[in-house]
Structure 1
Amino acid sequence: MTNTIKIENTEDAVAQIAALATKVIADGGHEGHDLETVGTIMTSDAVLDAIRNSFTRNLAKDGATVKDVFTATGQALIAHYCNSAGIPTDEG
């Protein structure tokens, strides 16, 4: 099953990236990282600003597509959160 996400502007992207990253992290089932806790962190001004800055900076690169930048920004956000929280990011 695939979902279609409609991105009309940067704020759409920021909101969707934050929401999807929150769900992915919370779905990991790590103690202390439930949906409400992760959501509170992801919707803080500092995190939303970081998402916005990353998205717009990378979108300005030659050849960048909204889809590619959206995906890369979300992946980087999840990796940063997990690394900061001590959540393993691989099966190894």
Structure 2
Amino acid sequence: MSRFFFGMLTGAALLYVGMHFHFVRGDGGVFLVPKTESSLSDIYVDIRDFRLDHWKAHKPLAEAIMASNQKHLAQETPPLAFRDTVEGVVSGLLSR
């Protein structure tokens, strides 16, 4: 019976972490970014080879990175000048 409760607590903890944080793999390692909305999307994302079209497909992740003051993650991905574009996309999302 104790294994059952341990499994329930472990599952609940993992679900909580998965719903409230992004695990982002960048050039500097793996970073924990708080989500702006609770969901199970984009739990783990490898952004090392992200291009602008990838950022457009992962708008909640871009918004969370900008909101959490971890903009260095967005600067690590090529092209180097895309940061302004991502900030524009996020600003557009936040102005809705």
TM-score by length of 2: 0.28
Higher strand fraction: Structure 1 or Structure 2?
A: 2
Query: Which of 1 and 2 has greater Rg?
Result: 2
Higher helix fraction: Structure 1 or Structure 2?
A: 1
